[in-house]
Amino acid sequence: MDKVVTGLAISPAGLVQGARFVDSPNRDARPIDAAIALIVIHNISLPPGEFGGNGVIDLFTNQLNPDEHPYYAQIHPLKVSAHFFIRRDGELIQFVPCSERAWHAGVSRWHGRERCNDFSIGIELEGTDSVTFTEPQYRTLNALLNALKATYPISGITGHSDIAPGRKTDPGPYFDWSRIPLAQD
């Protein structure tokens, strides 16, 4: 059964009504002059290539057990987050209010502007660079994009690979950009 959410609305505090909220400590205040202008699409799965577990939630909430999987031993000290995570069944989880800065982009540049975390929303899709994304994910993603575009002055939607070339590859070649209205580089 899919868990696609539609008709989303964003509160003045930056919380999406219809999303499950899991509070991530990996965030801080946006710079005062940084309007939200960009949406960055990522992919993630933890352990790598496995779907459905709590690895991503544990990573974004600093609860990843380094003894649970060999890969976790390498990444458990990371302090990272995204605003949103869309599971394979379309479930939408929010970790950081849109009004705050999530730590998803790292060293990045878009249209001459550096530090994309300052002015972007990060959306993680449960997936990898080598697997197609699901219909429920695209439906939830488009509902979320519509809500974000209705609330913030979004001027671009791009992939992590486009703002951190050579360092990142996601959302990868199996992400279908033609399914995303207003996608820009």
177 phi, psi to nearest 5 deg: -60, -25
Q: Enter the tokens of residue 184.
A: 């820009």
**pTM score, whole prediction:** 0.96
Q: How far apart are CA 116 and CA 25, in angstroms?
A: 19
Tell me the domain boundaries of the chain. Answer: 9-179
CA angle 143, 183, 160 (to 5 degrees): 95
Evaluate the CA torsion angle 172, 178, 180, 185 in order and state its sign: positive
Q: pLDDT by residue (tens digit) across 97-127?
A: 999 999 999 999 999 999 999 999 999 999 9
Structure tokens at 53: 């577990």
Both tokens assigned to 133: 């994304």
The model's pLDDT over 120-164, given as tens digits with 9 standing for 90+, comes to 999 999 999 999 999 999 999 999 999 999 999 999 999 999 999
> Tens digits of per-residue pLDDT, 18-56?
999 999 999 999 999 899 999 999 999 999 999 999 999
Active-site residue set: 124
Residue range 9-179 in CATH 3.40.50.2300: no
Distance CA 127, CA 135 (A): 13
Degrees (nearest 5) of the Cα angle 174, 86, 68?
95
Reported for 102-105, long-range contacts at CB under 8 A and 24+ positions apart, including other chains, are: 102/24, 102/26, 102/27, 103/26, 103/27, 103/28, 103/79, 104/40, 104/42, 104/80, 104/160, 105/40, 105/160, 105/163, 105/164
